[in-house]
Chains A and B, each alone.
Chain A
Amino acid sequence: MRGIVIGAGASTGLALLVWVLAASIWSGEATSQRHSDREASLAAWDRVVTVLQHPRCSNCHQPKEPLQGDSRRRHSPRVVRGRDNMGVPGMRCGSCHSEHGNNEASRVPGAADWKMPPRSMSWARLPIGQLCRALKDPTKNGRRSLNGIVKHMQEDSLVHWSWEPGGTRESIGMPHDVFVELVEEWVRSGAHCPD
């Protein structure tokens, strides 16, 4: 806080000097606090986004049809999103993806409530800055607050599935609780987005 201190004489001048010095250190601290907040936020984001861009997440966060596999190929058999994001009559997501979990016999992954996220939550080909901003945007993210985003990462059945995808599918590289902590840290430190 900068104030104008009217003082007299050297003591005032010294006090002023001291004050100014203190103030500049504090604001520097605030600035560097803001800097380090932003840095910490971006650092957390850098790690969070590797998960979001991982095939387990990004395969379904697509605008039209989901992708499939670690190689992100076109989904086979062909499927379409459908009005409710759960496929179409005759070919619902649930026709193959069991709500009870992964089916090792057929190697078809499964989890409760298997479906695509809404189109607005597509991250396909988004650079990480735009992805970040889209994630935070309540008009796109299902009206979620930042805490709501944390809750999604913490509780959603399909997010949990990404850590136990079954078959030979690659699981997410870091433990789930570490991931959630990083998301929390990102939020705590201001939920900053890279440019």
Chain B
Amino acid sequence: MKFNVNGQEHNVGDIDRDMPLLWVLRDRLGLTGTKYGCGRAQCGACTVHINGAAVRSCSLSARDAEGKKIVTIEAVSGRVADAVRSAWQRLDVVQCGYCQSGQIMTAISLLSNIRKPTDAEIDAAMDGNICRCGTYIRIRKAIHEAAWSIAQGR
């Protein structure tokens, strides 16, 4: 089977077509930035971008992922991605860090569509991403800060 990931075509040979994209990325392509947290679309740790939108890779089969443009945390780029990563680092958002790839991918998707999200809009976008370490306060702050710096043209 062939997958378009991070701008490149990858041929992974014969695999179970029901294999979730998550495991194709992690076990076949060695892209371990996208995490397994629950396998049931409950936690968001597996979030990637498909054709620009945030998608939970544990809920998309290899069969349904073929032919789509997939971007993972390792390669997500652009003004919004840069601003989000910078804000995350400046504010030391992370603790254990395991959920953060998914948090960041969701935040990038939010800010790519809503330039200056309100707290309610941030809640609605981020409620599906679990953090057991309790970094939600800093995530919120980082999203606001990223929005501000994008607006400033930084």
Contacts and interface: CB of A to CB of B under 8 A. Distances in A.
Interface of A: 76-80, 82, 88-92, 94-98, 100, 103-108, 110
Interface in B13-55: 18-20, 39-44, 47, 53-55
B46 to A, nearest CB: 9
Contact of A88 (B18, B55, B124): B124
A79 B128 contact: yes
A91 B40 contact: no
Contact of B55 (A77, A89, A94, A104): A94
A98 to B, nearest CB: 6
Interface in B67-116: 106-107, 109-110, 112-114
Given A90-B109, A91-B106, A106-B20, A96 B121 contact: no
Name the prevailing secondary structure of the B interface residues.
mixed
A27 B132 CA distance: 74
Name the prevailing secondary structure of the A interface residues.
loop
A98 B60 contact: yes
Given A89-B110, A90-B107, A91-B124, A103 B55 contact: no
B48 to A, nearest CB: 10
B109 to A, nearest CB: 5
Contacts of A80: 124
17 contacts: A77-B41, A77-B130, A88-B124, A89-B110, A89-B112, A89-B114, A90-B109, A90-B125, A91-B128, A95-B55, A96-B55, A98-B61, A100-B64, A104-B18, A105-B18, A106-B39, A108-B56
B64 to A, nearest CB: 4
B61 A91 contact: no
B142 interface: no
B5 interface: no
A88 B128 contact: no
Chain B contact-residue range equals 20 to 34
B64 A98 contact: yes
Contacts of B114: 89
A166 to B, nearest CB: 12
Given A77-B42, A77-B128, A105-B18, A91 B54 contact: yes
A79 B129 CA distance: 11
B42 A88 contact: no
A151 to B, nearest CB: 28
Contacts of A110: 59
A77 B42 CA distance: 6
B119 interface: no
B127 A78 contact: yes
B7 to A, nearest CB: 22
